[in-house]
Structure 1
């Protein structure tokens, strides 16, 4: 008798089609990743150049800043300075904040090509073809890792080119590498735990917030306090512990790589324990009856987690700004620093007024990011087919879109007012005039909103007319930031600087309030928004 033996099937590890998915993901992010990498590298290089132009030598820098570098509020926000060298002073704000921004880039890339694709149903369609189960996650992790590496390499090269110490610049790259790769892994795990993009955002961004707070507590604790050890429990703390332009602890990269490997491995294990379209953690059942009766109420309900997180962040920002304001007079006792602040925040009022004007302009950039996030949420609702189901009811697309716009307008104003109210309470208590300080700062915060509306309108225009390029709104914000905040310091052509809406904001508090530029910005925002809504009304959904 002859026994027939079936040929053995090759063992599949589920990576079939990874290369194709990686190419597709890279094509979709061909603008987002390079622009973000360039913007973060420019953040370091341009800040360093401005510092070198401001302080001709280390002695003048220390004479102006020594009393402020140890301020607990400054340490909580930017981390401890690595050394008292001119290079570390030039990159004081860049090390930690740049690493946080890089972590956000890693989060956006990995979430977009894992949970977002899965929630939209596109991953299920691809999985019906010759695509392995692990291919999508692998492609997302590889693209996120590549985005981090590209940013790090570009930053190191540009930092050396502007005159920063080569060894310290490589250490800065190591610091960012630790933080960026950590959030590639964190987001990969978060995408397996939940069944929605909002859940992934809550886990990943929540972990980022916790890591920042744990590091802040550790960095601001007394030298002999056990709480100092908390800095070593946070990946952001690891990035700070690299100490670029100081101790240059290159070995810390081992911690980041180990966490990256462990988290990515955990993501693959969790992937095998869930069904496509679901998460490891069970979804909470909804109520049998809902009190939501309008599209606007639904929009607000879906955004409440995002709004809560931003309000908390701006409360912390207000505490930091109000705490630092008390020592700003000693910080700017040199004419060079005063000239820099005046070039960035205006030349009217006291030094403290100029300081608040400068910081409020940066806070307005953050509020613009919130407005973009709320407006571009419409694109997510459309691509996941939830909008189509909503429009099958009496809801109309224009009223639905205007609900998102109204929420973005109100939310951006709320976070600015919350921040200045807290800062006014803290600084006003020291100055003995709480009510007057809060009122002046609140008025200054409201004067920045027209610029925020212009940025929001750009996002609305892109979504309405060119939905495929909605993500370019983030690139526009980066360009506006670089032009508006660093254009004068770098002596860029005035016509180029004027393209940023932040350039036209009044220098408040302390400066002269002028209606004309604010009215002009409001008109521009209204015009761009109207074109975006009209385009949305005329095009097909989906």
Structure 2
């Protein structure tokens, strides 16, 4: 027997994980830029937060923010705010900004698993790999190992950054906080490992995992918001991986046991992913594809109709989530108004005084939902690259469809879909507020306030389009801009940053109606900017080669 044949026989006998180590080395080489980019990017974000807060916040400012933290809206944004009664820079950083780092770790895990599993099957490369002595579960195991290494590296680097930052966190607390971020990332790695078994398409699998991430964020927010008002829904935060990490309370309680929930969830979801993988064929999904008719309907005869057909499932799920979330969030209007009299003056000023609490809350929710809809818009635009790499765009462009027409059709569905989602969010908030207060005039105000925020979403979609058109490999930089604008939108004015810094966020130009007047000039200007960015992306797409590998 030849040495090569003996090696093949040994690998075959080693079971369903044969070749995992070799695949892991291949993935590490393939992600030699992406791996450090994610780790350094999230760690530098922590470093930026710590240094920026250290520059603009003194002891008096921190004490003011401790008052703000008691507000249910602040709990909705950041979390329960452990230790804010004796607030320090480190506690404020952990309590208000930690969840955004967890979201980044979650996105890192979802994209990593999808990239190295379902996307490989969809492109046909997984079939070539499996033709060798590679076990059924080797690719998924290697992808999970890679994602675990990324989260471990993130925890180590974040610990060092946190200890060296102006917050000067002690090593045990800094390590606990960093492990909480990594633990949330691991849970969503496992969620993605399960999602890629369900659908035969990477776009749908990533969208499903992203929906779980969004639902976890909203469940955590509703639970913490209810807890801040003494409500009965605080248990919701214990259903979220973000809540588990936040309840470790670094720099206050320093308890490790909530992370056991994260590890248990990650292990169980991963095992479920392996079990489902054993029950499906390569390149197929557990959920069967619906069989189409013998003839395509007449309305599918244009690139615009095709773009809508491909995005309608995501739009349907987002529509349901935005409408339901709007109603739930709007129902908190009455408790906010009832508790306004007991709030500190500094906090009332943020919402326009006790008499303007209802309008201030609805105005803030328009900003909050605009940020959520921006996630849909960026995901939708960036899915163009998946269409291109899977060689589904090339046959369409080989026909009578122009490149600009194909791109513009897809982005138009995204733009109109964003407007539709903001409409539903506004209607939901208005219905919730009307049911809560009995004042149904709030329905029209909330709907208009949400609709006028849509151009902010369009600008981010346009930026993603421009990056895709010219530099598709760097299109993910749109997420960095989104994170920057979101943080400024939530905290910029409260931190009393300079006006030029605030103006750099797309979310701070239009005004939060009905609490503030609508700046129609900003609405028009942002809309024109979005159109210009989309046109720029179309021009770049016409001039570059297609990426099909």
TM-score when scaled to structure 2? Answer: 0.79
Distance in 2 (CA, whole Å) between partners of 1:423 and 1:95 is 27
Name the CA shift for 1:282/1:239 in 2 (closer, same or farther; >3 Å). same
Identify the residue that residue 544 of structure 2 maps to in structure 1.
Answer: 539
Name the CA shift for 1:347/1:383 in 2 (closer, same or farther; >3 Å). farther
Question: In structure 1, which of residues 448, 455, 467 is the aligned counterpart of residue 453 of structure 2?
Answer: 448
Kept in 2, the 8 Å contact 1:102–1:176? The answer is yes
Question: In structure 2, which of residues 323, 326, 331 is the aligned counterpart of residue 318 of structure 1?
Answer: 326
Shift of 1:382: 0.6
Identify the residue that residue 23 of structure 1 maps to in structure 2.
Answer: 29
Shift of 1:381: 0.6
Identify the residue that residue 337 of structure 1 maps to in structure 2.
Answer: 347
Name the CA shift for 1:149/1:312 in 2 (closer, same or farther; >3 Å). farther
Identify the residue that residue 430 of structure 2 maps to in structure 1.
Answer: 424
Shift of 1:267: 4.2
Name the count of aligned residue pairs.
Answer: 526
Shift of 1:355: 3.6
Question: In structure 2, which of residues 358, 365, 370 is the aligned counterpart of residue 359 of structure 1?
Answer: 365
> Which segment is superposed worse, 145-154 or 182-191?
145-154
Kept in 2, the 8 Å contact 1:74–1:320? The answer is no
Instruction: After superposition, give the CA deviation of every residue in 1:372-405 in whole Å (9 maximum; x if it has no partner).
Output: 1122221111110011122233333322222212
> Which segment is superposed worse, 283-292 or 410-419?
283-292
Distance in 1 (CA, whole Å) between partners of 2:538 and 2:265 is 45
Q: What SS does the aligned partner of 2:331 have?
A: helix
Kept in 1, the 8 Å contact 2:319–2:421? The answer is yes
Q: Once superposed, what is the RMSD of the aligned Cα atoms?
A: 4.3
Identify the residue that residue 533 of structure 2 maps to in structure 1.
Answer: 528
Identify the residue that residue 115 of structure 1 maps to in structure 2.
Answer: 118
Q: What SS does the aligned partner of 1:509 have?
A: coil
Shift of 1:155: 5.1
Distance in 1 (CA, whole Å) between partners of 2:46 and 2:275 is 33
Name the CA shift for 1:123/1:496 in 2 (closer, same or farther; >3 Å). farther
Name the CA shift for 1:126/1:352 in 2 (closer, same or farther; >3 Å). same
Shift of 1:175: 3.4
Identify the residue that residue 251 of structure 1 maps to in structure 2.
Answer: 257
Question: In structure 2, which of residues 380, 388, 407 is the aligned counterpart of residue 382 of structure 1?
Answer: 388
In the alignment, structure 1 residue 103 sits paired with structure 2 residue 101: no
Structure showing greater relative contact order (alpha-carbon pairs closer than 8 Å, 6 or more residues apart) = 1
Unaligned runs of 5+ in 2: 12-17
Question: In structure 1, which of residues 297, 300, 310 is the aligned counterpart of residue 305 of structure 2?
Answer: 297
Shift of 1:417: 1.9
Identify the residue that residue 509 of structure 2 maps to in structure 1.
Answer: 504
Distance in 1 (CA, whole Å) between partners of 2:111 and 2:385 is 15
Kept in 2, the 8 Å contact 1:44–1:94? The answer is no
Identify the residue that residue 9 of structure 1 maps to in structure 2.
Answer: 7
> Which segment is superposed worse, 320-329 or 445-454?
320-329
Unaligned runs of 5+ in 1: none
Name the CA shift for 1:394/1:56 in 2 (closer, same or farther; >3 Å). closer
TM-score when scaled to structure 1? Answer: 0.80
Distance in 1 (CA, whole Å) between partners of 2:433 and 2:421 is 18
Shift of 1:459: 0.9
Name the CA shift for 1:448/1:394 in 2 (closer, same or farther; >3 Å). same
Kept in 1, the 8 Å contact 2:463–2:533? The answer is yes
Kept in 1, the 8 Å contact 2:362–2:515? The answer is no
Distance in 2 (CA, whole Å) between partners of 1:420 and 1:136 is 43
Identify the residue that residue 522 of structure 2 maps to in structure 1.
Answer: 517
